[in-house]
Each structure stands twice: as structure tokens, then as C-alpha cells.
Amino acid sequence: MTVFNPRILDACTRDVVECLPVEQKAEILMHAMNLLKLTSHVSRHLVENGVQSCLQVDSLASSQLINALLLRGRARMAAGEIKEATEDLQSVLNLEPGNHVATSLLSMPNASELPKSRLWGIQSGSRQLSPEIWRQIASCLPRRDLKTLLHIPHVLSRISFEFVFEVLDFHLGACVTEDESHGEWVGEEEDGYYHRDLKLEKYLAQRTADIIARIMIDPGFSRLVRKLRIFASPHHRCDHMVFQTAMLSIALPRLINLRHVSFAGSNEVACKIAEVLATIHPNIRSLSLEPMVASHVPHLPQLTNLTKFSYVCHSGNHSVSTFLAQNRSTLRELQLSTCQWTFPDKVVTLQNLTHLQFFGTFPASSTTIGDILSQGVNLESLRLQCVLHCNPSDQFKDNLDALPRLRAFGFSVTDGSIGEVDDPTLFPTIAEFIRNHPSLEKLELSVPNEQYFQMRVGYDASIMGALPSVPLLRHLDMSVTEDLAPGLASWLIPRKTTSLSLSGLPRRDPYGFLHQMRAGIPTSLRFVGLDGMSVRDFAQVVESSFPTSVRLARLNYKYFTVRWKTDGGLEMEEWPERRAQLHMGEWLESLGCEDVAWNL
């Protein structure tokens, strides 16, 4: 006869544990206590007794001892016994000075006022989900949210730490922006500086020194870094520039997992960094360069495995063709931006590219646009900013169905094209090209404001008629024409649009124009940008012309965070210049406006 014992599971657990060494018994006990919820005094006493029994084991490993003290410290803090909890957490730091959980708990304000189960619940929740699941959750969060999670007592803190420091920013010198050059001028006219600049430089120098020191002494931290962004001041007044550059060169070999490098600033620093990269990191996959002194020929590292290359130079006629030829077989994403260049089609394999941005000159005999359309079969993103000396409409007509994978398309004609092009079928043909690509998610069409030039390239209100053909559109940047009916135009904008930029608004009555558009503006809009417009009260324009879903606004080159009040009205906070120039992507992501970054 079979006799069923309702506590057979308890008995089996006890029998199995009795066969284990004392260290494993302690490990099982601590794991079980971590699953408890502190809902009564009984649970808290169980934890106290259990941890005390574990601490009496002489052969307990250091990691087990730390876990036991953390467990009791959390339980005591949740019970309001702050003094006793602090003693346990300090003991943890004595055993492991860098323990992030103990540090976070000790730094939490008003810990005595927290609900009894809150701290326990945080850790218990982390035990119920695997680190892999928490990592997947953290991978979906904006970078600014990850920085906030660094300060909570949770497994997410460590995971966030790893994500945040995959990207490192180095500021060599002050890299002063226009709005920071204020104060008393010190020194000679060319080599002098403002007191405010000196204060900023000292802060950035200390920050750079701290990061380099961490790289040198902590191999675990060094292994986290995947992307390096370097901003070097172009001013030679920086006394620490040579020293900082030398220290950074010494630290670079420690970044064994480095794959992406972005550099902007001094050409001298760029040359030094290029030498190190070519020697130590020949397998870099992504390189972005923006030299400050365009007249100098860029010193490019000998890299041959790049998949992404970006070169932005506001002037200069030197070439990077040799460098592009070295990476011809591996290059997938390419950005070249300097108005005096022609496209280096002889050293770029268009069939390999998935993303292409080019700002340059198209000579009278150029067939570059046709070549890009016919050969770029894998392009997902294409943005052309053109100084046109040719009439490219026929090149579009011959390739209306080209680029089947295209998701982002931009075509801009710059002021340098005025008087050089006469192609009234150009933009009507581009509109037909857009209609044949209903999967577009981002679109930019831009021309100078001069009405006679718009007529020469066929840019008028009818171009807006192509918008209903792209229902998936999220980002739209367009020039406005004088013959555009605002009440109708706003209803042509696809309903999924979250980012809208308009330029060339009528000078006579821009307020009335925007007010008439209000009824048809998509309610999903998060970003609005107005270029070439002068207003006294930008907040009033945003409040009266756009929906309450807008979180970020731009007036010409100035950005404003928008906060809507519950009782009506809004507040606008202007971005500091450094945020707009150096940390744009991070802030756009935190506001849900990351689509704007494609248009920067």
C-alpha cells in the first residue's frame, strides 16, 4: 500500500542537503533566503538566523561572505534598522571596496523612510529574472535612463554600467562653443582665453585623467569600451594638450574590444591618434573624422577593414580616394561632406553600400546620380546634398523603380546651384520616384527659397502630392513654396509622422500659415523644426500651431525641450550649445526623437 507524505518534498530536500559539504549548504540557504519576501517578522528572523549560521562557517568563501552580509544588510535596511544595516554594508566594502550594491544602498537618501518591502522587493525581483532577460530589457532603454539606473541597488545597475561605458567621450582641451566664450579676456589676442574657458578646461582635464587612470588599472573596465569619441580643441593655448594626447595614446592599446572611433578637432591630435590606431587597432570597423583645419591634408590611419567611414570637412579640396580604395571591399556605410568634392565613384563599390550620404559637386557632365541609382541595389538610406552643375532629371527617369530596399531618401539642392541648373522636370520626376517607394520612412526635399530658382528645378506645391504614397513616413523635412495651401498641405502629411521640419515659410505671415496647418498636423508629432524664421515668442508659436505631443522644437539652429503644463500652456528650455554640438544623439533618444539624427 502506498502511503503519501504531504511533506515528502521537505524531507527530500533535507536529505539531499545533508549529503552536501557545509559550504554548499550555506550557498543553498542564502539562495533560498533571497527568494523570501519580507512580509512579516517571521521572514526577517529567518534571514537573521540563516545569515548568522552562514557566518559561523570558517571555510566560507569570500564571495559567499559578501553575499551573506549584503542579504542581511538589505533585510535590516528594509526593517528600518539603518545603523545595523550600515555596519553590514561597510563590512562588505571592507572586503570588496568597489561593490556597487553596497555603495548604492549606502548612498540612497532617506533610507529609513522607504517602505519595508521596497528594498527587498528590488533584489527579489532581480532574482526571479535571469541576468540575460534584464540585459535584454536594458538594451531597449535610452542612454540617459541607463545612467539613472547606475544608482539603484539592482542587477540592472551593473548591466547599465556595462552599456553606458561601451561609449567613452574624451575631451582634450576645452572645445569651447560659441555661447561659452564670455568673461574677461586674458593673454595675447591670438593665444589668450576667457576665464570661463579655463574653468571648463580644468574640469575636462580632470575628467579625462580619471577615465585614463581607470583604463590603465582596471582591465575589466577597458574590455567594456566599444566606441571612442574624441573632441580635441583646435586652440594651441591648451597647455595640457600634448600631455593628454600622449596619455590617451598609451591607454588606447588597453581597449582591446574597440571597434568604433569618432574624432573631431585638432589636426595634430588626429595625426597622433591615427598612428596608434593603425598599429594597435588595425581591425577598427568604423571611423568618423571632422578636422577643424580643412586646409591640411588629413592624416588617415592605414586601416583596411572598415565597414563605416564618415568624413566631414567644411572646405578644402584634398582627397581621401586612396583611403577609400583600401576599404573598397568592406565598406557598407559612407558619408562624405565637403561641397568642393565630386563623388569618388572609381574607388567606391556602390553595390556594397547600404547607407550613403554625400554633400558635394556634380559637374555638368556628371552621371553620378544615375550610377548611384542603378548600381546601389542594396542602399537602404540615400541622402544627397548637391551643388548642381548638371540637369539630372533624366537620370531619375531612367531609374524610377531603382533601390528596392530604400527606407530613407534625401535630395537637397544648395545655393551654389543657383544659375547653374535649368531642369524644370527635376522635382516632378523625383516625386514620381518617391511614389514608387511606398516603404520610405524618412524623406528630405530641400531647395533655396528663391522662387525663380524653384521654378527652374520644378519645385512647387504639387510635390506635396507624393506624400500620401508613403504612409510609413516618420521623418519629413521639406521646403515650403509660396503656392502651397497650408490647410490642405497638413492633411497630406502621413499620420505616422513623428518628426517635421519646415523651411522657407512665407515671410509675410508665417504665424497665419502655421495656424492654418494646425488642424491637419499629425497628433503623433514629437519634434518640430522651423528654419529661416524670425519670431519673438517661439513658445507661443509651438503652443498655437502644434499638438501637445511635441517634446522637442528647433528654431533655426537652437533647440528647445518642450514641457506641457497640466493646466494649459507650456515651458521651453533652450539647450546649451555643448549639448547640441556634443551630446545631440543621447538627448534625442531620451525624448523619443531619434529620427531627427538622420537629418543632422
513, 486 contact by CB (below 8 A): yes
Return d(Cα 213, Cα 348) in angstroms, integer. 40
**What is the value of pTM for the model shown?**
0.75
Q: Which three cell numbers stand for residue 538?
A: 517661439
Query: Between 316 and 78, where is the model more confident?
Result: 78
User: What whole-number percentage of the chain has pLDDT above 90?
Assistant: 34
What local confidence, expressed as pLDDT, does residue 560 receive?
95
Q: Which of the residue ranges 44-48, 131-135, 285-289, 370-374 would you say has the lowest mean pLDDT?
A: 44-48
Return d(Cα 245, Cα 238) in angstroms, integer. 11
For residue 27, the Cα-to-chain-centroid distance in whole angstroms is 41
Give the DSSP H or E segment for 72: helix 62-78
Return d(Cα 92, Cα 185) in angstroms, integer. 51
Average the pLDDT over 528-548 and give the result: 90
Q: Which of the residue ranges 52-61, 87-96, 565-574 would you say has the lowest mean pLDDT?
A: 52-61
What local confidence, expressed as pLDDT, does residue 293 receive?
61
Return d(Cα 345, Cα 366) in angstroms, integer. 11
SS3 of 23-35: HHHHHHHHHHHHC
Q: State yes or no: pLDDT of 303 exceeds 90.
A: no
Return d(Cα 231, Cα 290) in angstroms, integer. 10
193-194/185-186 β-pairing: antiparallel
Give the DSSP H or E segment for 475: strand 475-479
- What are 241-244's contacts with CB under 8 Å, separation 24+? 241/172, 241/173, 241/266, 241/269, 244/172, 244/173, 244/205, 244/208, 244/209
Query: Please, what is the angle between helix 100-107 and helix 62-78, to 10°?
Result: 20
Amino acid identity at 332: R
Average the pLDDT over 392-406 and give the result: 94
Tell me: the pLDDT tens digits for 321-368? 888 998 999 999 999 988 788 898 889 999 999 999 999 889 988 899
What local confidence, expressed as pLDDT, does residue 296 receive?
57
Return d(Cα 287, Cα 309) in angstroms, integer. 5
What DSSP letter does each residue of 246-306 carry, written as one string?
Answer: HHHHHHGGG-TT--EEEEEE-HHHHHHHHHHHHHH-TT--EEEEEES-TTSPP--------
Q: Which three cell numbers stand for residue 160?
A: 547599465
153, 108 contact by CB (below 8 A): yes
What local confidence, expressed as pLDDT, does residue 376 receive?
94
Tell me: the pLDDT tens digits for 171-220? 887 654 544 444 443 333 334 444 455 677 778 888 888 898 999 998 88
Query: Between 22 and 599, where is the model more confident?
Result: 22
Q: Which three cell numbers stand for residue 511?
A: 504665424
Q: State yes or no: pLDDT of 501 exceeds 90.
A: yes
What local confidence, expressed as pLDDT, does residue 239 receive?
57
Domain locations in the chain?
Answer: 8-128, 165-318, 483-600
Q: State yes or no: pLDDT of 114 exceeds 50.
A: no
Q: Which three cell numbers stand for residue 155?
A: 542587477
Q: State yes or no: pLDDT of 233 exceeds 60.
A: yes
What is the average pLDDT value for the chain, to the nearest integer? Answer: 83
Q: State yes or no: pLDDT of 21 exceeds 90.
A: no
Residue located via cell numbers 535630395? 411
What local confidence, expressed as pLDDT, does residue 71 receive?
81
Q: How many CA atoms lie within 13 A of 88 on its CB side?
A: 24
What local confidence, expressed as pLDDT, does residue 120 receive?
45
Return d(Cα 102, Cα 90) in angstroms, integer. 8
Residue located via cell numbers 525663380? 452
What local confidence, expressed as pLDDT, does residue 349 receive?
93
